[in-house]
């Protein structure tokens, strides 16, 4: 006769009134932000439909952790000659910086129950993405802190920029100073200490 483990107790989890992802408008209504990858309205609709189809609204919920599309992308019509000013607004996008959480799924469930759905969504996104949990995020932050603590090279980007060696402050932006040079355009270098 088999003995099964006692399932975890989820009595402390409180579900919100509307557990499913809400429909996002195409029209901008928020401030601008910096970003590397862009999410179009179609990407958000794909995420919303994929997650809402496979999620039980009685025991789980999903929340957007990004804003609706607000950055205008302009485009000239096909076959138009060069010049004539800037083109009309074609569509709106949401800039997403590396390391940003996009969708949060929670409730009376474990990561293994929704991991396959979230991996499917991550594969369809226009930039590299992965499924993380609270524990895996803590491990990633701990690894970054260990790399900074065990770094034997005294010439770190942080030290060079703060000391203004060779007048580097003239050519770096406040964004680089704040993030210690970890972002190069839309690319992220997690190993830079």
Q: Mean per-residue pLDDT for 88-117?
A: 88
Tell whether pTM > 0.85. no
Q: What is the pLDDT of residue 74?
A: 94
pLDDT higher than threshold 80 for residue 58: yes
Q: Mean per-residue pLDDT for 28-53?
A: 73
Domain boundaries, the chain: 1-132, 133-192
The topology (CATH level 3) of 1-132 is Aldehyde Oxidoreductase; domain 3 (3.90.1170)
Q: What is the pLDDT of residue 36?
A: 56
Cα distances from 47 to residues 15, 40, 102, 184, in angstroms, run 20, 11, 10, 28
Mean pLDDT for all residues in the chain = 84
* CB-based contact 153:161 (threshold 8 Å): no
Share of the chain above pLDDT 70, in %: 92
Q: Mean per-residue pLDDT for 181-193?
A: 72
Q: What is the pLDDT of residue 172?
A: 87
């Amino acid at each position: 006769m088999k003995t099964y483990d006692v399932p975890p107790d989820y009595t402390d989890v409180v579900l919100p009134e509307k557990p499913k992802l809400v429909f996002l408008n195409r029209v901008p209504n928020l401030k601008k932000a910096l970003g590397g990858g862009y999410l179009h309205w179609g990407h958000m609709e794909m995420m919303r439909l994929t997650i809402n189809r496979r999620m039980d609204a009685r025991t789980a919920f999903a929340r957007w952790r990004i804003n609706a599309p607000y950055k205008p992308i302009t485009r000239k019509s096909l076959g138009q000659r060069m010049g004539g000013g800037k083109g009309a607004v074609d569509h709106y996008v949401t800039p997403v910086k590396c390391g940003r959480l996009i969708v949060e799924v929670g409730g009376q469930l474990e990561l293994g129950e929704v991991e396959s759905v979230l991996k499917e969504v991550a594969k369809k996104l226009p930039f590299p993405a992965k499924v993380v949990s609270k524990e895996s995020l803590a491990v990633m932050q701990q690894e970054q802190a260990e790399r900074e603590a065990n770094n034997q090279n005294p010439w770190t980007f942080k030290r060079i920029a703060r000391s203004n060696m060779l007048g580097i402050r003239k050519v770096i932006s406040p964004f680089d100073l704040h993030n210690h040079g970890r972002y190069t355009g839309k690319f992220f270098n997690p190993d830079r200490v």
